[in-house]
């Protein structure tokens, strides 16, 4: 009977350890208490490692793990895992995305109640200071208050359901879901973020990415009603911490409940100086039930991965290159990029994803569709979508995924098109690969272009009139944004489309100024 070595690098629930111990094919090594430098020797011949936040899967770890097939991150976040580095070495990275859902939901409700009734402070007053002063602790009720929920996924939706049971008026903002997911629960769905900012209490439940980092900053807080209560039990940095501090200090934000910080441990954080904040040390997963679920699910995934049975919740399931020609892999990567790009341009609940292709690549459209689906859903599902579950998540969300062999004459040897249809519009992007794996967009919604598929971009659609290119360049220059490439396409409707590559990010102020040009039809900033 073949043996597989699984190293547990951080503490998990005993039930998970017992599962590994009792599996006759698993050579289980508990290494949670050893020095992280010594750990590198232990993982040298390991097939699978189970890690948590205490172990960084960095370049040193990956270099030491010479035989490793997979890494199971026992939890949701994979911020401390170098996924790209693992991919280069053929190491599959998996997580346990739903094991702590209820724990995170209930912690959010705890923070909400604590902020409204100041329980931690009244507790300290009586328990530690031995002062009985009831009149000092008048709070507010949840009933009748308007709750704004940002992100209506597994956790946000459950927080909303529990809040409705408190007779709160719940309004949700999530541009990546169908509105009926909210309205069917008797709640209000909004596409206007200002509706959220007008709420009495705001709680955020989004993944952390470039779109959501500092999603609530000083400008958003300024728009909020005086005395708003803010909750964050999701990811540090979704609220700009400096802006939150200023809001709490001024009283604009009456109270905040915070479980997560940008840098942890946050034992000397300025927010801790304030007396109108309730804090906890990242306890979202800290229930016995949650730890049991995380431990047992991580152990099961590790055993399955070690034996090559399955790779559930894999972020980077590698391709069996022995079964496909070498030219296919770059197209798969490109398909994912096209899906990701289309989802940024066409932001709305997705209805369908269609992948078509011409040339030899058309034989691999099913695989291309999987990669394109992962890319298209990556922005709105955060850590949950991967190559294994993309089809199931799409089906769950009512997203139709289809493929089509175009089989028509084309100047390109191989070409793929990703058509993303949302509730607002449809968008098609075609691309090909030239020699040396150079990926190029060749068509965007009927506009012929030729531009590299990389970097920061502006997609600017306008009426085809003189002076537009000069105006665009002048505006970007005034905002210190340098153009690295400018590609223009035109159609027979007197419209033009510019794909502009930039050397840096573009500010909202610059985009706003571009949108006010008379010729502008639409403008979007995207990144790859």
> Which residues are catalytic, by number?
235, 264, 282
Residues found in the chain: 528
Cα dist. 279→121, 128, 306, 343 in Å? Answer: 11, 18, 39, 35
Q: Kindly give the interhelix angle for 468-478 and 508-515, rounded to the nearest 10 degrees.
A: 160
b (16+ CB within 10 A) / e for 167-178: ebbbbbbbbbbb
SS3 406: coil
User: Within its chain, how far is the Cα of 456 from the centroid?
Assistant: 18
Distance CA(252)–CA(137), nearest Å, equals 20
Sign of the alpha-carbon torsion through 449, 451, 454, 456: negative
Structural contact between residues 172 and 190, judged by C-beta atoms closer than 8 angstroms: yes
Distance CA(488)–CA(231), nearest Å, equals 45
SS3 content of the chain, % helix, strand, coil (to 5): 35, 25, 40
Alpha carbons within 13 angstroms on the beta-carbon side of residue 268 total: 0
b (16+ CB within 10 A) / e for 362-372: bebbebbbbbb
Distance CA(526)–CA(379), nearest Å, equals 12
């Amino acid at each position: 009977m073949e043996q597989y070595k699984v190293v547990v690098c951080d503490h998990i629930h005993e039930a998970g350890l017992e599962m590994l111990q009792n599996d006759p094919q698993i050579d289980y090594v508990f290494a949670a208490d050893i020095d992280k430098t010594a750990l590198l020797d232990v993982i040298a011949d390991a097939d699978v490692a189970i890690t948590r936040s205490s172990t960084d899967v960095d370049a040193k770890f990956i270099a030491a793990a010479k035989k490793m097939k997979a890494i199971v991150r026992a939890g949701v976040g994979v911020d401390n895992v170098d996924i790209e580095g693992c991919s280069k070495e053929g190491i599959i990275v998996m997580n346990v995305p739903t094991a702590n859902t209820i724990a995170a939901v209930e912690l959010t409700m705890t923070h909400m109640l604590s902020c409204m009734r100041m329980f931690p402070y009244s507790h300290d007053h009586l328990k530690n200071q031995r002062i009985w002063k009831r009149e000092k602790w008048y709070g507010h009720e949840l009933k009748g208050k308007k709750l704004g929920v940002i992100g209506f996924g597994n956790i946000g939706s459950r927080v909303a359901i529990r809040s409705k049971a408190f007779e709160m008026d719940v309004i949700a903002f999530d541009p990546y879901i169908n509105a009926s997911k909210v309205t069917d629960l008797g709640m209000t769905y909004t596409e206007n973020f200002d509706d959220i900012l007008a709420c009495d209490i705001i709680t955020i439940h989004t993944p952390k990415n470039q779109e959501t980092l500092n999603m609530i900053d000083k400008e958003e807080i300024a728009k909020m009603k005086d005395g708003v209560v803010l909750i964050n039990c999701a990811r540090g940095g979704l609220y700009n911490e400096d802006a939150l501090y200023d809001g709490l200090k001024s009283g604009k934000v009456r109270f905040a409940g915070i479980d997560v910080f940008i840098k942890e441990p946050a034992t000397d954080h300025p927010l801790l100086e304030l007396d109108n904040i309730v804090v906890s040390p990242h306890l979202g997963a800290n229930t016995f039930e949650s730890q049991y679920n995380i431990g047992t699910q991580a152990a099961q995934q590790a055993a399955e991965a070690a034996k090559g049975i399955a790779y559930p919740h894999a972020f980077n399931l590698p391709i069996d290159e022995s079964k496909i020609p070498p030219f296919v892999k770059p197209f798969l990567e490109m398909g994912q990029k096209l899906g990701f790009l289309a989802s940024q341009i066409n932001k709305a609940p997705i209805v369908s994803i269609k992948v078509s292709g011409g040339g030899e690549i058309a034989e691999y459209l099913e695989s291309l569709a999987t990669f394109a689906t992962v890319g298209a859903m990556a922005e709105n599902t955060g850590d949950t979508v991967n190559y294994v579950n993309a089809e199931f998540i799409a089906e769950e969300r009512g997203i139709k995924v289809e493929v089509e062999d175009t089989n028509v004459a084309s100047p390109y040897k191989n070409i793929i098109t990703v058509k993303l249809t949302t509730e607002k519009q449809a968008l098609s992007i075609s691309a090909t690969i030239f020699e040396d794996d150079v990926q190029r967009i060749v068509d965007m919604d009927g506009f012929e272009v030729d531009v590299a598929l990389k970097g920061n971009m502006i997609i600017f659609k306008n009426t085809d009139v003189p002076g537009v290119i000069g105006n665009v360049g002048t505006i970007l220059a005034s905002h210190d944004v340098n153009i690295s490439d400018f590609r223009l396409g035109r159609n027979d409707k007197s419209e033009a489309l510019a794909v502009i590559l930039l050397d840096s990010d573009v500010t909202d102020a610059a985009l706003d100024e571009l949108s006010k040009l008379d010729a502008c039809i639409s403008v979007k900033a995207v990144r790859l």
